[in-house]
Structure 1
Amino acid sequence: WYNWVEEVLKNKDRFVMPPKMSIPQDSGNYYHIMPAMYEDENIVTVKMIGRHFLKENEKRPTMMADMLLYEADTGILKALMDAEYITTLRTGVVAAHSAIKFVKKDFDTLGLIGLGNIMTVFFITFINKLRDGNDNRKLVVKLYKHHQSARSSFC
């Protein structure tokens, strides 16, 4: 995943990615619409993420994401995908990529705010990247609670 992010960032000029559009709602809920095109692979995508707060006794994620995938040269819809998993992966791995690139060289403490799905992906990617570089230093990991994420099965 890390190499995937690295490759895309190095070649970002080969992607057409207009600014995301946002539709806020009075309730504090929102939609984000993110179009992108990668002509090298003849694909266009549109990802829609929405946050919708839970109503009383409702059990579902507050964040939802879907993606449409089109053949770029014909406009034919090729896939409708649940994008929650890929969004979680991308967010966590990009955060790990940034942390690896900008971390202080002699750090010994890692602070995490929450340990939900995104932070779990971040942590695993970050630690694996350190190990790949033969960096086996002992780290102090400080976990700060954020909402109910500290109840993750990862802990």
Structure 2
Amino acid sequence: MVDVSAKPATAREARARCRVTFPRAVAAQLHESGLRSAKGGIVDTAIIAGTMAVKRTHELIPFCHPLPIDGCRMTIDWDGPTTLRIECSVKTVHRTGVEMEALTGATVAALTVYDMCKALSHAIVIGPAKLLGKRGGKRDVGTP
């Protein structure tokens, strides 16, 4: 792990996005069902899974520091007729950033959507996942 003990604790935030694209017929079913599958509410379940992943990123990604998460917000909405847009914003006050936490939250939420919909089709596509922005630390990037 990188030694961050000499760095000052500052406010840090990051935002990441991942998309889930469905075949047209599956997307139509999901629109009609209000984003529910046989397993239950897709959005609510994905938000819970993504939030849990944010809090456990250090257990999933080697060399990530365990961080106190001060805020985590997940938004999931349609981005066109066949694609769900998942965004995860994370905040902390610490010596290192939360980019990995935001990326992990968005991608685990996307994996959860896939899991909840795989009975409808295995042609569901996850990605791309990308960092939209981060603030705090040495430099700011994009828009958190």
Larger gyration radius, structure 1 or structure 2:
1
Which structure is higher in RCO with an 8 Å CA cutoff and minimum separation 6?
2
